[in-house]
Amino acid sequence: MSLSLSNQQLVPQLASDGCAGGQRGGRPGGRAEPPVDPGAPSVEEGTPALDEGIPTSERRRRRSDDPVTALHYQLSTTRAEANLDVVVLVDDSGCLVAGAGAWPACEELAAYAPLLANPDAVQSAAVGSRIATLTADVEVQSLSVSGGEVLLCGRGGTAERGASIARAAAGCLRILRAA
């Protein structure tokens, strides 16, 4: 027997052969089967199905055990939430770790991110001009992970993009620390 989260309730699930399953709701529409224990309270009887302390809803819709995929999901959600053109996570040398948006735009923003974070390092007038153009539309946040630095950088969107980038930074740190 296993526990499955279905329609915001934890219910034991048995496969058709009586062995432990893990599939969600066996009823049409994805509704969960009633608990196996006949004495256990059920939703049909109007009794709460969840114990206190267990979340009643899951805010994340997509999950992955793969850190790169999880980072992409995090950045993709941030991009949509803040209406960003592109959002990237890069190492301190500008190598793209994860991104969301058009790939050429991700690559460009990744390459410029270290210079956007440290404009004093710009040594070329042409590069300085591009940095000046990008600065108005870009939010950069530096994150410290395992003694190293990564940069989270988003371009486009509205003036409120800073709050979305801050939330994304917390998510990226959680993912990277768990990896």
Q: Other CB atoms closer than 10 Å to residue 146's CB: what's the count?
A: 8
Q: How many CA atoms lie within 13 A of 179 on its CB side?
A: 15
Are 30 and 76 members of one domain?
no
CATH code: domain of residue 166: 3.30.450.30
The whole-model pTM stands at 0.65
Range of the domain at 95: 67-178
Mean pLDDT by 10 residues, the chain (179 residues): 34 40 39 41 42 50 85 96 96 95 97 94 91 93 93 91 94 93
Q: What is the pLDDT of residues 104-156, one digit of tens each?
A: 999 999 999 999 999 989 888 999 999 999 998 999 999 999 889 999 999 99
Q: Is residue 54 part of a domain?
A: no
Q: Is residue 56 part of a domain?
A: no
